[in-house]
Amino acid sequence: MNILNITLETELPIWFALLCALLGATYAFVLYRQDKTLPESFSSGKYLIAIMAFMRFATVSVIAFLLLSPLLKTIFKKYDTPIIIIAQDNSESIRMGTRGAQSAEDSAALARYNDDLSSLIEDLSDKYTVKTYSFGEKITEEISFNYDDKLTNISNLMDEIYNQYTNQYVGAIIIASDGIYNQGQNPLYVNQNLKVPIYTVALGDTTPKKDLILRKVHHNQIVYLGNRFSIHADIQALNCKDQESELLVTKINKNESNTRLFSLPLGFEVDNMINSIPIILEADETGIHHYRIELLPLEDEFTTENNIQDIFIEVLDNKEKILVLANSPHPDISGIQTALANNENYEISVKLTTTQSAFNREVTDEVQQYSLIILHQLPSRTIKIIRLKEKIEEHNIPLLFIIGAQTHIPTFNTSQDLFQVFAGAAPFNEAQPELVEDFTLFTLAENTFSTLQKFPPLKVPYGEYKVAANTNTLIYQKIGAIKTDYPLLIFNQGARNKIGVLCGEGIWRWRLYDYAQNNNQDVTNELISKIIQYLSVKEDKRKFRVSLEDNSFYENEFINFDAELYNDSYELINEPDITLKIINEDGKTFPFTFSKTNTAYNLNAWTFPVGTYEYVAKVEFGQNSSHSAKFNEFTGQFIVSPLRIEAIQTIADHQLLYALSEMNDGKLFYPNELDALNQYLRGREDIKPISRIEYKNKSLINLKIIFFMILFLFTVEWFLRKWAGTV
C-alpha cells in the first residue's frame, strides 16, 4: 500500500486558520505582557515569559483550529491479490478410485493425489490468496481428504461461492471432482453470472467396468399384518454378458440366525441391461423388520459396495375396524364397502339386524373393538339402540347415522343431539346436495366440490329441522330450485365421541351418476373416505406427547424430537425437564435431555448408525392419582437406513467437468497435471494483482497525538510557572 497524497481540509475556508493563530497570539500577549509576578532576581525572566507565552499561543491556536473540524485526507494506492478458490469433492465415489479403492495401488494413487493437491495449495499461496473448500452433501472450509460424504451436490458449491465472493476479486476456481452428482441441480445451469474462470481436475475413471448395481429398492415403509406386500428391485448390469448371479432377500433377525425369504437366479445375455424384479413377501409379524436385498458378486467385479441395500419395513396391526349395522340389505351398504375397498387402513364388517335380543347379544357386546360404527336406517321401529348407544359412549366410539325410509324418526331424535326432525304430512322428500364453501373439518378436491352439486337427490325426511349449536354442516338440502338451511350431511364433536348424520338414503345413485359422467367413481370415493377418515381418527388427549417428523431416517439425517406437556386444563407448559433414552439393537443406551422452547420442548439427537432403535421419554409431573405413569412416559421406535447413493454410479462424468470449464473460460486437467495447472495459472495475465485508489478521511480531533500535544504544552507551561514561583 503506497500513500500518494495527504491533504488537510476544513469545513470553513482555510484562511480561518490565521484567525485561530491571531486568537492564540492575542490570548498569550494579554496574559504575559504585564506579568510582574516573576521575581526580579530571576535573571532569565524575560526568556521564560517568552517560552510560556509561546506555549500558551500554540495551545490556544491548536484548540481554536480544531473548532474548524479539520480533516486529514489521505489517498492510498492499494494492491489486491487475486483469490484462488480450490474445492475438493469429499464424497465416497472419490475414495472408490479406479477399482473401488480396494487395491493397494489405488490407495497409493489417492495418497499421492492428496499430497500433490496440498503442494499446489502451498505453492499458490505464495502469490495468491487461496481459499479451500470440501464439498459433498455439505460444504466445509479446508480440505479434509477423508472422502466420506454420502451425497454429492456441486450446485450447492456454486451457490456458496457466488454468495460469498460476489464483488470480490476472484481470479480462478478449481474444482476437483469425478463429475458425479446425485443431489441438487446440474452445475452447468447454476449461477451463470459468476464470470470467473473455472478449472476442473478430473478424478475417477470413465472406463466401463464389469459391475452389478442394485440401483434402487422400491417399498412401502408401513404394511399391515396378514397382508402380502411387494418390493421392486431395480438392477443394472454393466459388461456382464454371459455372467450369472442371484438375487437374494434375507430377513436380518435380532439375536437369531438370519432367514432367507427369496432367491432368484439371474443370467445376462447382453453386456448392458436394466431390469426391475418384483418380490412378494408376507407380513406375518408386527414390528420393524430389517430386510437385506443383495446381488451375489461376479468374478472380478469392479465393486460390490453397490450390490447390497438394506431396508426397514414396519408391520402394523392397527387397521381401523369399521362396523356397518343395517336394518336390512341396501345398495348404499355396498357403495360404502366399494368406496373403502382399496384402502388397506380399513377393515369393514357388515351385520344385519334380525331381532332385538339377537342384536343386543351379537352386536352390542362387541362394539369396543371398532373404530367407527355406521348405523344404516337404525334405530328402526323394531330395533332400538339404547343399550348400543350406552356402550358406544362408554368406549368413546365415533358414530355415523344414515337416515332412510326404515329409520324411526322419533327414536332417532332421542338418539343424538345434532338436530331434531319434526315430521310433516309427507314422510319423505327428495333433496339435492348444496355444499358449504367454508367447511373446515376436512377438505375436498375442487373437482369433487363442483361435481357433487350436480348429483341426483337423496330421499330425506320431510318436516322441520332444528339444528343444535356447535355443529358443522358440509351439505345442505336443495329441494327443487330452493336452497334450504336444512342439513343433508352434518357433524359434531360430542362430549364423548364424534357423531355424523347423513340425512338421506340413495348414495348408490351418486356412484352410478359419478361413473356415468366421469368413467370412474373418484368423487364419491373421496367423499366417503373423507367422512370415514374424519370420524374414525381418534383425538390424542395424552398430556405428554413426543413426536418425530418420520420414523425412518437415512444414516446422514439428523433425528429431531419434539415434545409437548399439558396441565390439567390442557395448557402447554414446559417447566419440568424431559429426559430421553435411545436404545440400539445391542441394548446400548444413549441419554439426552430436551431443550425448552417458548411453550414446548425440542431435541436434536444428531445422526445414528444404521439399525432399529427404541426411545423412552420421561417427565416428572403431577403428584396425584390423575397423573399416572402413562402420562409421564412415552415410548416409540425409529429406523436408520443405509445410504449408498455414491456407489450406484461408478463411471466418472468427465464430460460434465469439461463442459463446466469450457463454459467458464477454464480448462480441464487430470490429477497428474497439477504442476501444469500451477504454471498455467501463473502465466495468465488476467490473474494478477490489481491496484486501486482508496480514500481515507480522518478528523484531527480524533488523533491521540493532538490530545497529548495539548496536554504536554499545558503541563510544561504550568511546571515553568510553578518553578518560577508565579503560581
Q: What is the CATH number of the domain that holds 460?
A: 3.40.50.880
Residues 311 and 432 in one domain: no
CATH number at residue 620: 2.60.40.1930
DSSP 24: H
Residues 423 and 435 in one domain: yes
Please say whether the beta carbons of 563 and 615 come within 8 A: no
- Which pLDDT belongs to residue 97? 58
Of 223-237, 311-325, 575-589, the range with the highest mean pLDDT is 575-589
Summarize pLDDT for 612-646 with one digit per residue, the tens: 899 999 998 765 444 444 458 898 889 898 888 88
Nearest to 608, CA basis, from 640, 637, 643: 640
Looking at the chain, the whole-number percentage of residues with pLDDT higher than 90 is 33
Strand order in the sheet with 668-669: 139-141, 129-135, 83-89, 170-177, 198-202, 668-669
- Which pLDDT belongs to residue 630? 45
| Three-state secondary structure readout of 195-264 | CCCEEEEECCCCCCCCEEEEEEEECCCEEECCCEEEEEEEEEEECCCCCEEEEEEEEECCCCCCEEEEEE
Residues 432 and 532 in one domain: yes
- Which pLDDT belongs to residue 41? 43
Residues 335 and 478 in one domain: yes
What pairing do the DSSP bridges indicate for beta strands 372-376 and 346-352?
unpaired
Q: Is residue 195 part of a domain?
A: yes
pLDDT band at 438 (very low <50, low <70, confident <90, very high): confident
Please say whether the beta carbons of 306 and 274 come within 8 A: no
Distance between CA 351 and CA 347 in Å, rounded? Answer: 13
pLDDT band at 694 (very low <50, low <70, confident <90, very high): confident
Q: Is residue 689 part of a domain?
A: no
Range of the domain at 48: 2-76+698-724
Please say whether the beta carbons of 710 and 59 come within 8 A: yes
Of 210-214, 380-384, 588-592, 694-698, the range with the highest mean pLDDT is 588-592
Residues 403 and 519 in one domain: yes
Distance between CA 656 and CA 670 in Å, rounded? Answer: 14
* More confidently predicted of 414 and 581: 581
Residues 419 and 441 in one domain: yes
- Which pLDDT belongs to residue 626? 44
Residues 411 and 388 in one domain: yes
- Which pLDDT belongs to residue 99? 43
Question: Which residue type is seen at 345?
Answer: N
Q: Is residue 691 part of a domain?
A: no
Whether the per-residue pLDDT at 103 is higher than 50: the answer is yes
Region 410-431: mean pLDDT is 83
Residues 329 and 466 in one domain: yes
Lowest mean pLDDT among 106-120, 274-288, 347-361, 527-541: 347-361
Whether the per-residue pLDDT at 419 is higher than 50: the answer is yes
Number of domains in the chain: 5
Which own/partner pairs from 267-270 qualify as long-range (CB within 8 Å, at least 24 positions apart)? 267/243, 268/237, 268/240, 268/241, 268/242, 268/243, 268/244, 269/241, 269/242, 270/241
Nearest to 371, CA basis, from 399, 344, 352: 399
Summarize pLDDT for 547-592 with one digit per residue, the tens: 998 888 988 899 999 999 988 777 889 989 999 999 998 899 999 9
Q: How far lies 262's CA from each of 80, 216, 231, in Å?
A: 66, 17, 11
Region 131-146: mean pLDDT is 92
- Which pLDDT belongs to residue 153? 93
Q: Is residue 243 part of a domain?
A: yes
Q: Is residue 688 part of a domain?
A: no
Region 448-458: mean pLDDT is 87
Whether the per-residue pLDDT at 115 is higher than 90: the answer is yes
Question: Which residue type is seen at 570?
Answer: Y
Q: Is residue 690 part of a domain?
A: no
Whether the per-residue pLDDT at 652 is higher than 80: the answer is yes
Query: Cell match 348408490: residue?
Result: 508
- Which pLDDT belongs to residue 581? 96
Residues 324 and 311 in one domain: no
Nearest to 291, CA basis, from 341, 242, 229, 243: 229
Q: Is residue 155 part of a domain?
A: yes
Q: How many residues does the chain have?
A: 727
Residues 72 and 103 in one domain: no
Q: Which of 299, 316, 333 is the last residue before a domain boundary?
A: 316
* More confidently predicted of 631 and 378: 378
Region 193-219: mean pLDDT is 88
CATH number at residue 145: 3.40.50.410
Residues 500 and 633 in one domain: no
Q: Which of 264, 299, 316 is the last residue before a domain boundary?
A: 316
Lowest mean pLDDT among 44-53, 327-336, 475-484: 44-53
